[in-house]
Structure 1
Amino acid sequence: MKIVAVTACPTGIAHTYMAQEALEKKSRLKGHRCHVETQGSIGIERELSQREIDEADVVIMAVEMVVEGMERFENKIIYEADIADCITNTEEVIDKALELVK
């Protein structure tokens, strides 16, 4: 499956990047492709292309703030996750998101 995600915490430092790394690593281990955009105090990094978004089976939103560019995700299946869960319960977050696709 193809997954895209946005991780964002108000300061955009530790949790944003820890969640990004965990989602990418665990997705890869489970045989999925995952691209993660990070947002925070320094803005958007690793911005998802519209093609990546369009081709994704599901979008994981692990955010604690307003996300820039939410209109890019219209008509997509979105799973809203707690950013801390993406770090500590990554596999469960991915499994729950993918359940929405079935």
Structure 2
Amino acid sequence: MNIVGISACTVGIAHTYIAQEKIEAAAKKAGDNVKIETQGTIGIENALTDEDIAQADIVILAVDVKISGEERFAGKKVIKVSTQTAIKSPNKLIEKLHELGRQ
């Protein structure tokens, strides 16, 4: 499965990057392709391209704040969770994405 997403926390530092790492590790463990854009205090990093989004089967938004560019995902299956959920239960989160992807 091809997964793309965004992580962003209220402070824009630690949880943004921890959520990104946890999601990427769990997705790779499940055999998925994954790319997570971060929107933190230093701006957007690892930006998703139009091609990344077009090839995505599902989008995950692990966010605690308003993000920029959410409209890019129009027409895609999108799941939104807190950064805490992504950090504490990344494997369950990826399982849920697989279930949604099959629907």
Counterpart of 1:47?
47
Task: Indicate if the aligned counterparts of 1:18 and 1:87 stay in contact, CA closer than 8 A.
Answer: yes
Q: Which amino acid in the other structure matches residue 33 of structure 1?
A: N
Counterpart of 2:63?
63
Q: Which amino acid in the other structure matches residue 61 of structure 2?
A: M
Task: Indicate if the aligned counterparts of 1:10 and 1:41 stay in contact, CA closer than 8 A.
Answer: no
Structure 1 residues 4-15: aligned runs within 5 Å: 4-15=4-15
How far apart, in 2, do the equivalents of 1:73 and 1:67 lie? 12
Q: RMSD over aligned Cα, in angstroms?
A: 0.9
TM-score using structure 1 length: 0.95
Matched, 1:101 2:101: yes
Counterpart of 2:30?
30
Q: Which runs of 5+ in 2 are unaligned?
A: none
Name the count of aligned residue pairs: 102
Counterpart of 1:82?
82
Superposed structure 1 runs of 4+ greater than 6 Å apart: none
How far apart, in 1, do the equivalents of 2:42 and 2:66 lie? 14
C-alpha deviation, 1:90, in angstroms: 0.2
Identity of aligned residues (%): 41
How far apart, in 2, do the equivalents of 1:93 and 1:82 lie? 11
TM-score using structure 2 length: 0.94
Q: Which runs of 5+ in 1 are unaligned?
A: none
Q: Which amino acid in the other structure matches residue 18 of structure 1?
A: I
